[in-house]
Amino acid sequence: MERAPPGSHVASKAPSRSCSCRNEPAMHEGQHAMTATTTTTVHPDPAIAAASDVEGEPTRRTAGRGRWALAGAAGAIAAFASIGVSMPTLTEEQASQGVDVIDELDRSGYHLGFVLGLVGIACLLVAAQGWRRWAEERAPDSTAARLVGQGLATTATVNIAFVCLMGSMALYLPGGPDEGWLSREAIFTNFTLLDFGALLGWWGAALSAGSVAVLAFGRRKVLPRWMGVVSVVLLVPPLAMAAAMGLPGFVGFAMPIWLVAISLGMAFGTAGRAAA
């Protein structure tokens, strides 16, 4: 057998030693990478955590996150305007004429009220969805938080029926596209239903106002205290009039004002930034 040249076994082992030396820096780099990935901080507030995901850009991530609430203000204004333009200006003598009051009515006010009412319904539903998302992020275990959006959705749903009655009046009153297709008695029935009907849906928003008060004055104080004060101040008069006089419609004047105030507070304050 031939012997290997002297020192050849040393040369064959040299590559393995140099290879192990090259792997050591890579192993150290991997350890540093693993250490870096595990040092993350989770903030208990979802809104603040979302704002701090991108370091140095919290303003960009949170800017405008409460603008969904502007839909509530727009819905309240459109719905209130719809009620205002569709209510005819009648004297007591004219209103007591019975079916003949139809001759005193103008279809244009009902037509405009119908269009504005549809805009209001759409905006209220958007606001209701925004409140639902806000509740899921800021107060997922709170029944009151979930009821805010549910109350606004109820208002929008009830308003659909009476807003469409406005459209019916625009259709069948003298000068309308379908004039003569509906009896005077049927038109008078629609007129009577619209006396309070367009206001009644706002009892759903009254439930929302009560829920906002609970969220503002409760132990967790999810909403600012001033929202609770506004809610109580505007909720008490409709409840008092309903209990004392049986008046069902005053809620339709008070709750749109409440919704505008609360919506602006959510849009431009910090409380509404939990929902995009």
Q: Is the pLDDT of residue 57 over 90?
A: no
Could you give the dihedral angle defined by the CA atoms of residues 265, 120, 111 and 161, in that order, rounded to the nearest 10 degrees?
-130
Selection from 78, 168, 162, 160 nearest residue 119 by Cα: 78
Whose structure tokens read 């409709």?
Answer: 238
Determine the average pLDDT of the residues in 215-238.
Answer: 93
Q: Angle at which helices 107-138 and 251-268 pack, to 10 degrees?
A: 50
pLDDT at 43: 44
Average of per-residue pLDDT across 82-93: 85
Q: Tell me, letter by letter, the H, E, C secondary structure of 214-258.
A: HHHHCCCCCCCHHHHHHHHHHHHHHHHHHHHHCCCCCHHHHHHHH
Confidence of residue 101 (pLDDT cuts 50, 70, 90): confident
Give percent of the chain above pLDDT 70: 75
36: pLDDT strictly greater than 50: no
pTM: 0.74
Residue 91's pLDDT is 74
- pLDDT value of position 272: 64
pLDDT (0 to 100) of residue 166: 95
33: tokens are 């990478």
Instruction: Report the alpha-carbon distance of residue 103 to residue 52 in Å, rounded.
Output: 64
Using the Cα atoms of residue 15, residue 17, residue 21 and residue 26 in order, give the sign of their dihedral: positive
Predicted confidence (pLDDT) per residue in 104-151, tens digit: 888 899 999 999 999 999 999 999 999 999 999 888 889 999 999 999
Query: Angle of helix 143-172 relative to helix 184-193, nearest 10 degrees?
Result: 150
Report CA-CA distances (Å) from 102 to 121, 139, 191, 256. 27, 51, 8, 29
pLDDT score of 65: 60
Instruction: Determine the pLDDT at residue 148.
Output: 96
Predicted confidence at residue 152, as pLDDT, reads 97
At 150, the amino acid letter reads Q
Pair of tokens at residue 15: 């590559």
